[in-house]
Structure formats: structure tokens, C-alpha cells
């Protein structure tokens, strides 16, 4: 009796995950340290908002490392289909960390605005933020590539967070320069706008990962592709049911196919196996269950 799903670990994929997690953790630690020190010495609100975002990035990086390692564990008796559902849970925690950072940054910006703002020196904050943009562009590009190759929503969420950091750092430069050369209130205004951007990005990431966690359905284009693949298998007369839902970051497909009712059970079983092979070859599909029924005409 088999109680646990068969699983073949992919050493190449695991190596990519490890590289992605190392890039995320080390990069965010460096940026959080640099921005926090620059914000402390300069007193800039927009820089503080960006530093708060980077500190939250460090916290979620730690959660990401732990969660992703757990999600990559092979199936066992406690989770016979595997641990992949932990991955969108990690993505949701990333969104919550971003939301917390955005709320904290908004509160600080509002307080600084009510206090009338303060004049700033542009040199140190601008240099730190410019360096941050270059690092985050590189992190975004690398993690997006990894997420596509691994079909990982948690890494995609992290890459999108890195992209949002590029824009928040750019806005923080604008706020710093505005406060230094135009009016002190420019800085807290920009800081508040940065906070709103962080909150919006957090909401978008949370929505996507909640869809994965709650069994959201596959997009129409993907459903149609699944039907086409199954229908193209020789011997399949028609497909009359496809239920595709997310069980974690990838899909579980429940499919009913109609075949010639006069063929042998062995032939019907072989047809079902071939359809299963074709459907699970899609990177978005984790597993497929094929039900064979006689075609009544």
C-alpha cells in the first residue's frame, strides 16, 4: 500500500532556490544597514520610509529562507502530497511584512509633516539611495528569472517587492532633493506617497497568494491549453470535464475523458497515463487525475 506520493527531488532546482535565497538575504541586509545609518545621520523622512521598507525586507527574507526550505521538503506521512502549500503562505507573510513597513512609514511621514518638516543635506541620502537602486535592479532581474524557471510565487513576490523598492528609492531621492533645495515639507509628502506605494504592492502580492492558498481556479487560457493537450492524444474522443485549481503554487487538474467503450481496460489505462503525462508536462500543473468514461456517441 502506497501512502505517500512519489517524488523525485531536482538538485538543479534546489541549487537555484538556494542562490535566490542567498541573494535576497544578503542584499537586503546590506541595504537595510546602509539606509538605516543614512536615515539616522540625515534625518530624512523619505529616506526613513525607504529604510523601514528595507528592514521589513530583512525580516521577510529570514521568513522566506525558512519557509522555502520547508516547502521544498519531500512528501512524508504528515504531508503525503508534499509541502508546496507552504510557499504561498510565505508569499503572504512577505505581503504582511511589506504592509507593516508601509503603515509605519506612513505614520512617520504624517508626524514629520505636522511638525513642519526639516531642511536636509542631499549628499549622503542621495548617494545611498542611488546605490540602493542599482542593487535592487540587479536583485529584481535575478529573482524574476529564478521565479520563472522555478514557477515560484514566493520568489515572484520577492522580485516584485524589489521592483517596488526601486521606485520607492527613486521617490525618496526626489523627496530628499526637494527638501534640500525647495521646501522642507517635500520630504514628508514624498515619504507618505512612498508608504502608499508599499501598501499597494503588499495588497497585490497578498491577493495573488491568497488565491493560491484558497484553491483559486486556473486562468481561462490555461484551461483551454489543458483541454487541447488532452484532446490531441490519439484515442481521446472528447474531454467533458476539467476542474483545475491551485493547491499551493501549482495546479491540480481533475479531468474526465471519453474514449471508445469497446477498448480493453489495459488500453484505457494507457490512454489515461498518456493524457496525464501531457497535462503534467505543463510547468503550471503539479498533478492530474484522469477519469476515463465510455463515449456514448
Per-residue model confidence as pLDDT tens for the chain (297 residues): 777 777 676 667 778 888 888 888 888 888 888 878 777 766 666 667 667 777 777 877 787 777 777 777 777 787 777 777 887 887 788 788 778 777 877 777 776 676 665 555 656 667 777 888 888 899 899 988 888 888 777 788 788 878 877 777 776 676 667 666 677 667 677 778 877 877 887 888 888 888 888 889 888 999 999 999 999 999 999 999 999 998 888 899 999 999 998 899 999 999 999 999 999 999 888 889 999 999 876
74 close to 7: Cβ distance less than 8 angstroms:
yes
Residue 164's pLDDT is: 76
Pick the CATH number of 11-213 from 1.20.1250.20, 1.10.287.40, 3.40.50.300, 1.20.1510.10: 1.20.1510.10
Residue 73's pLDDT is: 79
Residues 290 and 233: their CA atoms lie apart, in Å, by 13
Residues 39 and 92: their CA atoms lie apart, in Å, by 28
Q: What angle do CA 283, 284, 290 make, to 5 degrees?
A: 100
DSSP class of 217: B
Cα 56 from chain centre: 16
Residues 142 and 54: their CA atoms lie apart, in Å, by 18
In three-state secondary structure terms, 255 is strand
67 close to 90: Cβ distance less than 8 angstroms:
yes
90 close to 208: Cβ distance less than 8 angstroms:
no
Buried b (16+ CB within 10 A) or exposed e, 73-96: eebeeebeebbbbbbbbbbbbbbb
Residue with cell 515619504: 191
- Other CB atoms within a 10 A radius of the CB of residue 39 amount to 23
Q: Residue 46: which residues within 8 A CB-CB, separation 6 or more?
A: 109, 171, 172, 174, 175, 176, 179, 187, 188, 190, 191, 194
Domains of the chain, by residue range, sit at 11-213, 220-294
Residue 226's pLDDT is: 95
User: Nearest-CA neighbor of 166 among 116, 132, 201?
Assistant: 132
Would you say domain 220-294 falls under CATH 3.30.460.80? Answer: no
User: Nearest-CA neighbor of 84 among 13, 33, 19?
Assistant: 13
- pTM of the complete model: 0.69
Residues 81 and 161: their CA atoms lie apart, in Å, by 30
Amino acid at each position: 500500500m502506497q501512502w505517500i506520493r512519489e517524488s523525485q527531488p531536482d538538485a538543479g532546482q534546489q541549487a537555484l532556490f538556494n542562490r535566490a535565497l542567498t541573494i535576497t538575504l544578503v542584499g537586503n541586509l546590506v541595504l537595510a544597514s546602509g539606509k538605516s545609518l543614512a536615515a539616522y545621520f540625515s534625518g530624512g523622512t523619505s529616506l526613513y520610509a525607504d529604510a523601514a521598507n528595507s528592514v521589513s525586507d530583512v525580516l521577510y527574507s529570514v521568513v522566506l529562507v525558512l519557509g522555502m526550505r520547508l516547502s521544498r521538503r519531500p512528501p512524508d506521512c504528515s504531508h503525503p502530497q508534499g509541502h508546496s502549500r507552504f510557499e504561498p503562505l510565505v508569499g503572504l507573510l512577505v505581503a504582511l511584512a511589506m504592509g507593516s513597513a508601509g503603515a509605519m512609514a506612513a505614520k512617520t511621514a504624517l508626524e514629520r509633516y505636522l511638525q513642519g518638516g526639516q531642511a536636509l543635506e542631499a549628499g549622503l541620502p542621495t548617494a545611498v539611495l542611488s546605490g540602493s537602486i542599482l542593487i535592487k535592479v540587479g536583485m529584481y532581474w535575478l529573482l524574476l528569472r529564478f521565479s520563472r524557471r522555478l514557477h515560484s510565487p514566493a520568489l515572484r513576490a520577492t522580485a516584485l517587492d524589489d521592483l517596488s523598492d526601486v521606485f520607492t528609492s527613486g521617490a525618496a531621492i526626489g523627496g530628499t532633493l526637494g527638501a534640500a533645495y525647495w521646501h522642507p515639507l517635500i520630504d514628508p509628502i514624498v515619504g507618505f506617497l512612498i508608504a502608499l506605494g508599499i501598501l499597494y504592492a503588499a495588497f497585490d502580492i497578498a491577493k495573488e497568494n491568497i488565491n493560491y492558498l484558497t484553491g483559486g481556479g486556473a486562468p481561462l487560457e490555461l484551461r483551454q491549453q489543458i483541454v487541447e493537450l488532452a484532446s490531441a492524444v490519439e484515442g481521446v474522443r472528447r474531454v467533458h470535464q476539467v476542474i483545475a485549481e491551485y493547491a499551493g503554487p501549482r495546479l491540480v487538474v481533475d479531468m474526465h475523458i471519453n474514449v471508445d467503450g469497446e477498448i480493453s481496460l489495459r488500453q484505457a489505462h494507457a490512454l489515461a497515463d498518456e493524457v496525464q503525462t501531457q497535462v503534467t508536462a505543463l510547468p503550471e500543473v503539479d498533478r492530474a487525475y484522469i477519469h476515463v468514461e465510455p463515449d456514448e456517441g
